[in-house]
Amino acid sequence: MLLDYDTDPVTDSDIHALIKHFGKIFGPVRVNAIPREALLSPMQVKACMAVVNFTSSRLKPTVDEVTVIYTTTWGETYVVPGKESLDKLWFELQESVPRPPCYIFVPESSQRKRIYQAFIDAAEQDFELLNYW
């Protein structure tokens, strides 16, 4: 997340909540513990999280920015910025069996539910809204 002069204030609780969820969804990976079969088979998405409007205005009920983070069965973790990042990931999510868990993190604001709904309408995927606390 790039924080610059135009960024809305990011609070300690925003960062704490994001790190808490990130740690639960994308725990540490020991590469030598990944089964050989997983490394020899085609890569699949294992878990996915979209972070929406982390540094943009919290007053608007629209999706202004999206960063998608996902991990694969090969032990790789990717961070893909931009609203179009889900379009690129859509095929891999469809090919992954069983379907990987997908989550969305929206910082605390009065528009949180509306931002979540706008994201779901545009994403065409099922994403579970993570609790803020």
Q: Tens digit of pLDDT for each residue in 90-106?
A: 888 888 888 999 999 99
- Give me the domain span that covers residue 67: 12-129
Residue 78 has pLDDT above 90, yes or no: yes
Number of domains the chain contains: 1
| pLDDT at position 2 | 59
- Residue 65 lies inside a defined structural domain of this protein: yes
Structure pTM?
0.88
Residues 6+ apart with CB under 8 A from 92: 43, 44, 45
Q: What pLDDT sits at residue 89?
A: 84
Give yes or no for a contact between 49 and 102, defined as CB atoms under 8 angstroms apart: yes
116 inside domain: yes
